[in-house]
Chains A and B, each alone.
Chain A
Amino acid sequence: MSLSITQDARERIIHDAIQTFPDECCGFLYGTETGDDRLILEVQAVGNSKDGDKRRRFEIKALDYLRAERYAEANNLLLLGVYHSHPDHPSVPSEHDRIAAQPYFSYVIVSILAGKYNTLQSWRLNDASQFEEETISRSQFSN
């Protein structure tokens, strides 16, 4: 279970997380899949639609999700997951993340401390609905 990510996609996620700090950012991950191994080729930032404390919560509008599925289909990509940031917290999923998580999706979490990039990790639910970390490697197809 591994996740490769292009340099460009990785930088976009980190950039979004820093720009959105101290709020949580969020967006979609698109790419390809071979067996259990995934390659993220493209990311798309979307607005955090959470009513309330965006510093510790994120939510993506249903219509944005619908558009993301349509975008993946139109561009012959797979919608492989979502990313979000944890401002001033580690890039480890919270219980709140776990309860709301969907099966199959990769959850990339980026930790931002005091406005600066800290760490980036990816997680996927196993069949017992617990998160397992995915090994992240930078893509050989980096652009």
Chain B
Amino acid sequence: MATVIIPTPLRKFTGQKTKLEAEGSSVKEAIEDLALNFPDLKKHLIDDNGRLRTFVNIFVGDDDIRDLQNESTTLKDGSVISIIPAIAGGSH
């Protein structure tokens, strides 16, 4: 069981919950478990091809999963996953 930290902009899709528990031995499984329980959250995390959205970063502890094994990054009991929305923009 991993703890998932929900970022402020997505809390309206989790009933204002800031932390959730998710089942899974990998990041992919945990995110899928979360999407199953919170369908409104799903479209903000996973695209139509079942991949993590480009505008979403996932950290396990303080590490970006891109520096680990991406979605296959294994989880331990008590792992903390942070969902981090990409923040960007520009004038024109």
Interface residues of A (CB under 8 A from B): 24, 26, 50, 56-60, 62-63, 65-66, 69, 72-73, 78-80, 82, 84, 86-89, 93-94, 96-97, 100-105, 107
Contact = CB atoms under 8 A, between A and B. Distances in A.
A25 to B, nearest CB: 12
Given A66-B59, A100-B55, A58 B89 contact: yes
The 8 closest A-B pairs by CB, nearest first: A57-B90, A97-B89, A102-B9, A86-B91, A89-B91, A60-B87, A62-B57, A104-B9
B12 to A, nearest CB: 6
A122 B83 CA distance: 25
B89 A62 contact: no
B92 A56 contact: yes
Given A62-B84, A78-B8, A104-B12, 18 more contacts: A57-B88, A58-B89, A59-B87, A59-B88, A62-B57, A63-B64, A66-B84, A84-B89, A88-B91, A94-B92, A96-B92, A101-B89, A103-B9, A103-B44, A104-B8, A105-B8, A105-B9, A107-B89
Nearest to B7: A69
Contacts of A105: 8-9
B48 interface: no
B85 interface: yes
Contact of B90 (A65, A69, A94, A103): A94
A78 B8 CA distance: 8
14 contacts: A56-B91, A62-B57, A62-B86, A79-B7, A86-B91, A87-B91, A89-B91, A89-B92, A94-B92, A100-B55, A100-B88, A100-B89, A103-B12, A105-B8
